[in-house]
Amino acid sequence: MLRGFKNFVMRGDIVTVAVGLIIALALSTLIKAFTDFIINPIIARAQGGHSMGLGWQLGRPGNKNTYLDLGSFLSAAVYFLIFMAVVYFLIVVPYKHVQGRRGVVVFAEPAALKTCPACLSEDLPAAAHKCRYCATDQPPAAPAAGGPVPGGPVPGGR
């Protein structure tokens, strides 16, 4: 039983996910500090005066429970955008590059889809010959823009 657990934990993809999560948590802490101590003071300063921040008081003045804090929301949005950009450029892009060198395609573009003219299902693969829902024959897929037309002249051909 312990050998099976060890084999499960030591699989390459589990280790990769664990390392990715650890890096994401560390980056999250760093970006949270950036938004709390740099972005938030800038947003609060934009409001000016001695207000509670960028936002509106919906109830009695000075009551923090009825204060609509737009500054905190903007800070959270900036945090999210920075965090996702960091994860993409420091984890996803290098991972795609490494896997591409190994011949593995990750995060590929979704396959082209077409709509069935009979039942109007919109999730048929472009190369499908029959509809998976109503079993009607499908017309041949249209060529991609700029691609050769079937039966037509081949660009640059002899």
φ, ψ (nearest 5 deg) of residue 124: -85, 140
Is the separation of the CB atoms in 87 and 79 below 8 Å?
no
* 39 vs 36: CA distance, rounded Å: 6
Is the separation of the CB atoms in 69 and 52 below 8 Å?
yes
Mean pLDDT is lowest, of 18-22, 39-43, 84-88, for: 39-43
pTM: 0.49
Confidence of residue 158 (pLDDT cuts 50, 70, 90): very low
For residue 10, pLDDT over 70 is answered with no
Q: What is the pLDDT of residues 97-132, one digit of tens each?
A: 888 888 877 777 777 888 888 898 888 888 888 998
